[in-house]
Structure 1
Amino acid sequence: MPVYTPDDLMGGKVPSGNIVLFDDDHYYMGGVLAELMARRGAKVTLVTPSAYVSDWTRNTLEQGAIHRRLAELGVDIVLNRSVTNIASGGVVTACVYTGARQELSADAV
């Protein structure tokens, strides 16, 4: 399973297909990268352990607009979950509160 960094994506190496983006930064980058891949035709699932996409941007009053834009682009938003395992067919996530696991299929992370 290919794993891409923000530098890869911003450098033009943008994956296609079913992509899981894990955002543990909580600032703006996760939303920016999800939007970039969605606009290029990828099916994006954004996973974050936070209760909000790009959580820190609540401080700059941008969070609602970011979440709305991603939803309009068809990005699946998975909140309150961490990625615990990356395997050949996808990722395993766990709820930050209960530890309940969920598998998500993906072509790249």
Structure 2
Amino acid sequence: MDLSDQLKNLFPDHTPEEDTSAKIPDSNIWMQEMPIICKYEKRKGKPITILEGYTGADKDFKQLAKEIKSFLSVGGSYKNDKIIIQGDYRDKIMDFLKDKGFLVKRVGG
């Protein structure tokens, strides 16, 4: 007997409502027709992943950068219309963006 069954026994007249506060709201990021470019570079001997080519608003791209960084649990930044992620995470980032509905193009190795 789980918690919901126990609650039904205690409060038989109560009809449970769906809790919307526990759900993560779907982001309202603008989708574009052109693919986002995902490339790999080394700067000062350390690998980084760069995303560029987004034509939407800056705040949407910053929100996307924040979501990617929290999804991967890595550091990164948003500069000059580019998202820079520390480490080589091209495959994971591409899968994440495809799940969100973006077109992604891999550039380089």
Q: State TM-score, norm by structure 1.
A: 0.26
Pick the structure with greater CA Rg.
2
Q: State TM-score, norm by structure 2.
A: 0.26
